[in-house]
Structure 1
Amino acid sequence: MSDIRVTAVATKADRKAFIDLPYRLNASDPHWVPPLKADVDELLNPKKNPFFEHAEVQLFLARRAGQVVGRISAHMDKLAWTLPPEQGMGPGTGNWGMFDAEDEAVAAALIAAAEDWLRAKGMTRVLAPLSLSIWDEPGLLVKGFDHDPVIMMGHNSPRYQAWFEGRGYTPAKTLLTYDLQVDKPFPPLIERIVASGEKNPRIRIREADKSRFKEEADLVFDILNDAWSTNWGFVPITDSEVRYVSKKMAPVVYPDLLRIAELDGEPVAFMLTFPDMNRVIKPFKGNLFPFNFIKLLAWVRKPKSPRMRVPLMGVRKHLQSSRMASQLAFMMIEYIRRSAVKNNGAQTAEIGWILDDNQGMRSVADAIDSKVNREYVIYEKPL
């Protein structure tokens, strides 16, 4: 590693190099979807991204013979320290992510730099990769390299798994995504469960009201924080993050694809679905200008997409593990399925991610005949 030099990102030129590197390293991968550079820049901007209000981040670049050959982010999330260790985070836990490397020697130098930074900050354990938080792109893809990722899911070289494990990292948790055919009805049992719910006067499944978007967003994130509060890896979403994410998501939230379930007039569950924007932005090669933004705006106004993604779903904690929770989930899935097929031309959907030990959600996924199509691993290592 003597010819590899790892330095902290300190200048605008460094920051640009950090953002630009993956476009060169992944250029030959037919299934890598270049993210919009403007989005990556905003993710890393402490003045815009409220993650920085409770986290400290340091970016690193690796160079060989003056050429940038790798990158990594090291970070500490102070909110994560307040959570019980048995939930995955806890005191002394740091993270790294946004990893790209030309070869294994570069990977070793980058990971060592991130570990040294975390150790100097008093961290005693690493949970990685997270890019940047558990709510962004968590985990390393280890299964499902043969197809494009959907919106807000990562894709990486299959070489990375051996490189990480060779540095002493062991799997802490596996995250699963499920592939589902939506242009055909669900199994008869699910149809009966939905029909039964439709006859129950206590249940109402409604579309989101975009004329009250702030209130609806607050409601959704309140349910989410409650529903996921005991999940492994959970870190609460702050009020600042709710405002930030809501504003960013507003243009691509469609009322018929965001359903809220009410029980006895009380909102108790939600399900959010996005048309897969990755199919639109893939040819952009990371750039919106000069003309790509016009194409994107036209698509956003009336999105047609054969592929959908269900990134978030939650049922309030007091209902979890009940028959009612499953019935509400099936009803929301079915209502969104109908809308996505009719209004967006949907044929398939990806559900997830789902923790590998979340038996409730895995049972729901199995019941609608969906199959695991991608696996992501979050690793851990003591420092």
Structure 2
Amino acid sequence: MTASGEPITVSPVAGRRDLETFIRLPYRLLQDEPCWPPPLLFDVRNRLDRSKNPFFEHGEAEYFLARRGGEVVGRIAAIRNHLHEEVHKEKLGFFGWFDLINDEDVACSLLDTARQWAADRGLEALRGPVSFSLNDECGCLVDGFEHPATIMTPWNPPWYGALIEGAGFTKSKDLYSFALPVMEFGVERIGRIVERIKKREGARLRQFDPKQFSQEVARIEAIYNEAWTANWGFVPMTPAEFRHMAKELKPVLVPELAHFVEIEGRPVGFSLVLPDVNVILRKLKGRLFPFGIFRLLFGLKRVKRIRLMAMGVIREHHMKGLDSVLYLAAFEGARDLGKTFSELGWVLEDNAVMINTIERIGGHRYRTHRLYDAPTVRHGNSKGAH
């Protein structure tokens, strides 16, 4: 879609009113989309609050609004992650919190503004969308629009990708999500294999112990940051970030769906499956109070959808079949709780080992999110004015 003749202005968020406009924009633009789950407003406010989100201990961001004729038509966050620069030794910035009307000029104006912000700080390229890092919601949905977004995954209309590409961005990496009906997982067949693996490796499986919540979270943090070190784009989560995420997820944590695998009493792997709380969020329309809290608390047990959102085995125990031990535990727990649908992911498009494993247990790719890159110096004239 092309723009009207009125000029577009892009300006930083200034003050509480602008911030609230920034927060609420997707609720206006996407309110009629059945696959988009409106996040809780107070949760979004906390994530954007520089004093509350531990990302800002090593990162910075500027929020921008695009206006045409006095109407807000888009938003974007320009992001700098100093920890990413330190780990990967590259001058890379990020963009996220990207929502807008279907308009090429608006997209170019927003993305050019983020590019300039990054260039002013000596960064040479921009990647996104991420909100705020790969450890958060990330990627632009490019396939599987007909499927509802699951917990901690984004959803956007089909034309977002074309607008980003039209602004000069190219594909960086695809992130795959896989669907697997719980009852189609071959528990009995894989169970025999898993028993042999456990015996061979001297492995023991156990559930997450909620009575030792802080200690268990620390164990997951250690495994996660070690297991994922070699992954493309990965930046370790800081202890503060891990504690913050754990606190947010604690209300929806189900011990029967979170597991450790241990060898000689040492945790060497974990899996974390969460009920898809988005099923409930779509009914709350962003508001937890006054009655949404009851829907959330009493509705969780009835949610039939789950997402296996994280799994890791430390590198010295890779390729020993321990991932199969964790898959079996996750699906046995899901089956016993009456869950019917599972999503596994995301998985990097070139992680052949993980993709093959998921496909062997019956999963099929059903959604794809894409990350885009562009140099911060735009070659050619911008279509938008700002």
Q: How high is the TM-score relative to the length of structure 2? A: 0.93
1:56 matched to which residue of 2? Answer: 60
- Matches of 1:245 and 1:230, distance apart in 2: 22
- Matches of 1:161 and 1:244, distance apart in 2: 31
Q: What 5-or-longer segments of structure 1 have no aligned partner?
A: 85-89
Q: Is the 8 A contact 2:185 2:362 kept in 1?
A: no
2:291 matched to which residue of 1? Answer: 291
Q: Is the 8 A contact 1:280 1:296 kept in 2?
A: yes
1:318 to 2:316 alignment: yes
Equivalent position SS for 2:37: coil
Q: Is the 8 A contact 1:183 1:341 kept in 2?
A: yes
Equivalent position SS for 2:183: coil
CA deviation vs aligned residue, 1:15-37 (integer Å, no higher than 9, x gap): 00001100111123221111111
- Matches of 1:201 and 1:127, distance apart in 2: 41
**CA-CA distance at 1:106 after TM superposition:** 1.0
Within 5 A, what are the aligned runs for 1:1-383? 3-84=7-88, 90-102=89-101, 103-186=103-186, 190-200=190-200, 202-300=202-300, 303-320=301-318, 322=319, 324=320, 326=321, 328-343=322-337, 345-383=338-376
Q: What 5-or-longer segments of structure 2 have no aligned partner?
A: 377-386
- Matches of 2:168 and 2:187, distance apart in 1: 44
**CA-CA distance at 1:297 after TM superposition:** 2.2
Q: How high is the TM-score relative to the length of structure 1? A: 0.94
Equivalent position SS for 1:156: coil
- Matches of 1:94 and 1:250, distance apart in 2: 31
Residues 163 and 263 of structure 1, relative CA distance in 2, 3 Å threshold = same
Q: Is the 8 A contact 1:187 1:368 kept in 2?
A: no
Equivalent position SS for 1:83: helix
Q: Is the 8 A contact 2:97 2:130 kept in 1?
A: yes
Equivalent position SS for 1:147: coil
Q: Is the 8 A contact 1:126 1:381 kept in 2?
A: yes
**CA-CA distance at 1:265 after TM superposition:** 2.1
Letter in 1 for 2:317: L
- Matches of 1:231 and 1:37, distance apart in 2: 32
Q: Is the 8 A contact 1:190 1:367 kept in 2?
A: no
- Matches of 1:315 and 1:195, distance apart in 2: 18
CA deviation vs aligned residue, 1:193-244 (integer Å, no higher than 9, x gap): 1232354571101001111111110000110000001100101111111221
Output the aligned Cα RMSD: 1.5
Which aligned segments of 4 or more residues in structure 1 are displaced greater than 2 angstroms? 187-192, 197-201, 297-300
Residues 73 and 185 of structure 1, relative CA distance in 2, 3 Å threshold = closer
Equivalent position SS for 1:295: helix
Letter in 2 for 1:93: L
**CA-CA distance at 1:157 after TM superposition:** 1.3
Q: Is the 8 A contact 2:173 2:349 kept in 1?
A: yes
**Count of paired positions:** 371
- Matches of 1:201 and 1:372, distance apart in 2: 31
- Matches of 2:72 and 2:185, distance apart in 1: 50
